[in-house]
């Protein structure tokens, strides 16, 4: 005797966060080499300079909300969507086969257990992808910046993480960037807490030398 699959056992995409659905949408777009190349042109740029991205992202951001009302996207959230789309498109070849954290066909993970950027940096330290001093300096410096200063730095940082086999949860990053200028202290504190929680859980290796990364880009702008 066979049993029928109940609706509860098949997660509906409406149970997913909008950020997860957006990430899945961008992954589908990136299946086309041409589209992936055009999305990649938005790396580190403000929305006003992302001319090649509008045709793909404006339809998504203009969709009605789930309650049928008109959806108005805050400028910071809009830039976050453009930035994450470009970052996904720019993934190294070795990272392109990694699926989104949540898809229409998979259970939706508990949001509060998912890795944010602090967690990813902690994993990078544990795996020897980054040195502890570099990762901590990155987090402390970013925690004092506006989103305008952070966005240009993200391409180099995420490329380093992905190239070292560290996962980036794009949906979490999308929401954190969307709220950064309005809730920076809370988000930065969470990043730092998750970083130290991750490194202390496995025991971070000792820092044996200096490391040059895109962090210097932000420092130069402050001088």
Predicted local confidence at residue 202, as pLDDT: 67
pTM beyond 0.75: the answer is: yes
CA distances from 203 to 170, 199, 200, 206 (A): 26, 5, 5, 9
Predicted local distance difference test score (pLDDT) of residue 92: 93
- State the Cα–Cα distance between residues 96 and 88, nearest whole angstrom: 9
Q: What is the dihedral of CA 78, 145, 167, 108, to 10 degrees?
A: -50
8 Å CB contact between 33 and 124: no
Work out the end-to-end distance of the chain between its first and last CA atoms, rounded to an integer number of angstroms. 73
Q: How do residues 64-117 score in pLDDT, each as one tens digit?
A: 766 555 567 899 999 999 999 999 999 998 787 666 654 444 455 677 889 999
- The confidence score (pLDDT) of residue 100 equals 60
Listed as ranges, residues in the chain with pLDDT below 70 are 1-15, 65-71, 97-109, 202-223
Position 64 scores a pLDDT of 73
Pick the closest to residue 131 from 214, 219, 205 (CA basis).
205
Q: How many residues does the chain have?
A: 223
Measuring CA to CA, how many Å separate 68 from each of 13, 23, 63, 65, 212? 17, 22, 9, 5, 49
Residue 143, token pair as written in the block: 């925690």
- Please tell me the predicted confidence (pLDDT) of residue 69: 56
Give the per-residue pLDDT at 11: 40
Distance separating alpha carbons of residues 98 and 150, to the nearest angstrom: 25
**Could you give the CA distance from residue 78 to residue 38 in angstroms, rounded to a whole number?**
18
Cα(37)–Cα(42) distance, integer angstroms: 10
What's the pLDDT score for residue 206? 58
SS3 219: helix
Q: How far apart are CA 198 and CA 135, in angstroms?
A: 12
* CA atoms within 13 A of residue 207's CA, in its CB half-sphere: 14
pLDDT at 10: 33
């Amino acid at each position: 005797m066979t049993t029928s699959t109940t609706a509860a056992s098949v997660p509906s995409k409406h149970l997913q966060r909008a950020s997860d659905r957006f990430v899945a949408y961008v992954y589908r777009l990136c299946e086309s080499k041409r589209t992936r190349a055009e999305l990649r042109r938005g790396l580190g740029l403000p929305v006003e300079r992302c001319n090649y991205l509008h045709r793909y992202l404006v339809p998504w951001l203009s969709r009605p909300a789930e309650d049928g009302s008109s959806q108005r996207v805050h400028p910071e959230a809009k830039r976050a969507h453009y930035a994450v789309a470009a970052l996904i498109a720019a993934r190294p070849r070795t990272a392109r086969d990694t699926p989104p954290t949540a898809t229409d066909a998979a259970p939706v993970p508990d949001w509060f257990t998912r890795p944010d950027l602090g967690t990813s940096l902690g994993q990078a330290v544990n795996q020897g992808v980054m040195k502890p001093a570099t990762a901590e300096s990155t987090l402390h410096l970013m925690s004092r910046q506006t989103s305008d200063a952070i966005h240009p730095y993200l391409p180099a940082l995420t490329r380093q993480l992905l190239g070292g086999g560290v996962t980036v949860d794009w949906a979490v990053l999308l929401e954190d960037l969307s709220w950064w200028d309005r809730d920076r202290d809370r988000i930065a504190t969470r990043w730092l807490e998750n970083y130290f929680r991750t490194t202390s859980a496995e025991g971070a290796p000792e820092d044996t030398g200096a490391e040059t990364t895109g962090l210097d880009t932000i420092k130069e702008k402050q001088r």
